[in-house]
Structure 1
């Protein structure tokens, strides 16, 4: 699915986003990827990740997170994210992160759930397919880890 607005293009899937971008006869600064898991994503979230990427010149990618519900803590289909103090992603996992030694959810800790939406700098998106798969990406089956393992910054909104 492709949609256009304000010099942004909205597509699905990182590799497919790049393929579609190459076929378009127009230059875009930012590409937004809304995955099928999030068909009713709020427009404010779309705007938020775009603005987050625009405000972080050292980032090539941005994404959104929200609070993780305790019942989703151990669901591998719910991707978790750890964010540093400056709002950049440190790690994504299908397991609970951080994982404390008690093996239980700490109700006092602000665990984060990754929302299935990303925005990319279009120059980086063109480079993405040339990046080799990485061990963490393959182990977790999460393409965000390919970005982080290759040393790129990802801003979180």
Structure 2
């Protein structure tokens, strides 16, 4: 007997599979605190939002994309830079060397295709960020990946509160 699994997803729902954040407040609040501390420690809202959007693009997290695109717009990021972010390497002239280094690190930490962050990517970021900034950048990338994974797993709806 052959069984098939329907792998189609219904992403049109207005409610999450479960209210993760209400059910796991001991996870939510520390994650939020870590995320906010990382963002504050980085000290550059535009750079932070670019990183948050890029990780959310990779992870296909519509909830976080919606939120961070709006936050990026509020921080003054142009529509053009937001739209080109998915192809930032080809659109390099639209991003500073520091932003490009942060985006490369974001991709390396988010995907871990080689099982680790390549030395060249880390060194590129280290050339633009002091150790304190780098620690906060890595923390921000790590927290957005956790948010993305939770929101994708529970199918947190766009515009729905956490």
TM-score, scaled to structure 2: 0.27
User: Higher RCO, 1 or 2 (CA under 8 Å, sep at least 6)?
Assistant: 2
Structure whose residues are more often helix by fraction: 2
Instruction: Compare CA radii of gyration and give the structure with the larger one.
Output: 2
Higher strand share: 1
